Amino acid sequence: MSLVIFFGAPGSGKGTQAKKLTEKDFEHISTGDLLRECKNDKSHSLNAVISQKMSAGELISDEIVNDIISLKVSQIGQNIIFDGYPRTLSQAKFLDETLEKNSKTISKVILFDINPNVVVDRVLNREVCNLCGAIFNKKFNPSKVSGECDLCNGKLELRVDDNEETIRNRIKIYNESCSDLLEFYKSKVQIINAALHEDEIFLQIGTIINA
């Protein structure tokens, strides 16, 4: 059993690496993806508040996120990547309690270390497939055909909340919560260089998980 948290600023590459691990029998829990589903579902009771906060780059309340995560944890298997969660100390404590109820525990925390300016450059050039969710980058990892997913031929789109002001605000919020979370998980934290090519990053992650 491997339960791993990917910890790092938005745009540091966590989602790309998590998707690669799903090909290796891992489940991927992304709060960003789960919240975007709520944002895009006009019938969802939380649609309005989530849409407003995500567009402004603000964090969603712990109560909302914890409810979504608790349900997801009860539905999935033994190898899990948590991507974008926990973001606060209270979320981290809630996650430990939830996992314990399901006879699970976090084994590794991988910190994606990267310069904020590189993150901004990455995110402003990021494209996501509207069908399968694959992530490409116009500058660093372009698709073979412009605007078209290499995997399923879906349409590649920019996320509406991927603008410089929102990105820098998300990085600021991340940095403010970073120290408490690193202290909470200090015995499990492993640091990787997230500025490397995605294949090199994947090798780093594999070494840590299999250690």
Q: Encode pLDDT of 132-188 as tens digits.
A: 888 899 988 899 999 999 999 999 998 877 888 888 988 888 888 888 999 999 999
User: CA-to-CA distance for 192 and 111, rounded, in angstroms?
Assistant: 6
Task: Decide if 49 is inside a domain.
Answer: yes
pLDDT > 90: percent of the chain = 42
Mean per-residue pLDDT for 40-52?
81
Task: Decide if 158 is inside a domain.
Answer: no
What residues have CB less than 8 Å from 187, skipping those under 6 apart? none
pLDDT > 70: percent of the chain = 100
Task: Decide if 149 is inside a domain.
Answer: no
Domain count, the chain: 1
CA gyration radius, the chain: 16
- pTM of the predicted model, to two decimals? 0.77
Q: Which domain holds residue 27?
A: 3-114+163-210
User: CA-to-CA distance for 42 and 158, rounded, in angstroms?
Assistant: 20
Task: Decide if 156 is inside a domain.
Answer: no
User: CA-to-CA distance for 168 and 165, rounded, in angstroms?
Assistant: 5
The rounded mean pLDDT for the chain is: 88
Task: Decide if 84 is inside a domain.
Answer: yes
User: CA-to-CA distance for 40 and 168, rounded, in angstroms?
Assistant: 23
Task: Decide if 85 is inside a domain.
Answer: yes
Q: Which two tokens stand for residue 160?
A: 């509406």
15, pLDDT greater than 90: no
User: CA-to-CA distance for 141 and 143, rounded, in angstroms?
Assistant: 7
Task: Decide if 184 is inside a domain.
Answer: yes
**Can you name the residues that pair with 28 across neighbouring β-strands?**
81
The backbone torsions φ and ψ at residue 77, rounded to the nearest 5 degrees and listed phi first, read -90, -145
Which CATH number characterizes residue 81's domain? 3.40.50.300
Task: Decide if 28 is inside a domain.
Answer: yes
User: CA-to-CA distance for 33 and 121, rounded, in angstroms?
Assistant: 21
